[in-house]
Structure 1
Amino acid sequence: MKFIILFIAIHCSFNLATCKSIELLTINLQPIEIHEMIRFSEQKPNTLQVISNEEDILIITNAINSAKKMAGKPDIADPHYQLELGENNYYLWINQDNTATIMNVNDTNTIYKIYAAEKLISTIQQ
């Protein structure tokens, strides 16, 4: 009996957490601005792309949320893109192995790897 009650409690908690996450993403759906970059802090002229489609925003947001912190201090080439998501700005690199690397512009000492980034890449490069 205790096992059944514990299972139901865990199941309900998981469902509530999942619903709350989805609700937060839905509430915070703001257009995403994407610029191609020449080098750090220099955007390529006339390359602004605004993503306002909900599905595309969720693809980008979920990719960023799934990024894994990489160890060590980054020594990295100039970024391919800059993404502006509300108050957050990121540099983005597209890698040849269908992964991506992302860095918060306010924390240039830390990079994050996005594995299985095919949807992210196709959304940004459309």
Structure 2
Amino acid sequence: MKELFVLFVACGFILAGCSEEQESKGQNEGSSETVTTNKAISLELKEIEEVKIFAKAVSDSKKETGIVNMTNPQYKFSIGEESYSLWITEDSGTIMNTKDTHTVYTLSSNSVQEVYEFVSKG
């Protein structure tokens, strides 16, 4: 019985050591790599024109079908009471209402250009 207890304790230490190793992965000493966080940047829409760009992007977006499995968003923004997550590149854009994380919407090509210009200048 004592041997079984020692075995469980040893397994616990091994598992704890493995989880700590994964957390520190990518943070090598003397490395020139940059460690980035997956925290979304909050966009502050201060000007009326900025609000219009994002409101148009939301209203013109197209609902996508299927199961959603997204990475952490690049940006977050709010229009009135609604909050959205945003994934944007020069060629495409996707938004998700934070109240409905099972549905994504793709941005129109015009909205992609306008939103991308906004986030690129900031």
TM-score (norm 1): 0.58
| Structure 1 gaps, min length 5 | 1-37
Q: Tell me the matched-pair count.
A: 83
Give the deviation of 1:64 after TM superposition.
1.0
Distance 2:113 2:67 in 1: 26
Give the deviation of 1:56 after TM superposition.
1.8
* Paired AA for residue 54 in structure 2: I
Q: Which residue does 1:100 correspond to in 2?
A: 93
| Structure 2 gaps, min length 5 | 1-36
Q: Does 1:86 align with 2:80?
A: yes
Q: Secondary structure at the match of 2:44?
A: strand
List per-residue Cα deviations over 1:68-126 (Å, max 9, x = no partner): 00010111111101112121011100135x22100011101000000211111111332
User: Judging changes above 3 Å, is the alpha-carbon distance between structure 1 residues 104 and 49 closer, same or farther for their aligned structure 2 residues?
Assistant: closer
The RMSD of aligned alpha carbons is 1.8
Q: Does 1:54 align with 2:33?
A: no
Q: Which has the larger radius of gyration?
A: 2
Identity %: 27
List per-residue Cα deviations over 1:16-42 (Å, max 9, x = no partner): xxxxxxxxxxxxxxxxxxxxxx44xx5
Distance 2:58 2:92 in 1: 12
TM-score (norm 2): 0.60
* Selected match of 1:120 from 105, 115, 122: 115
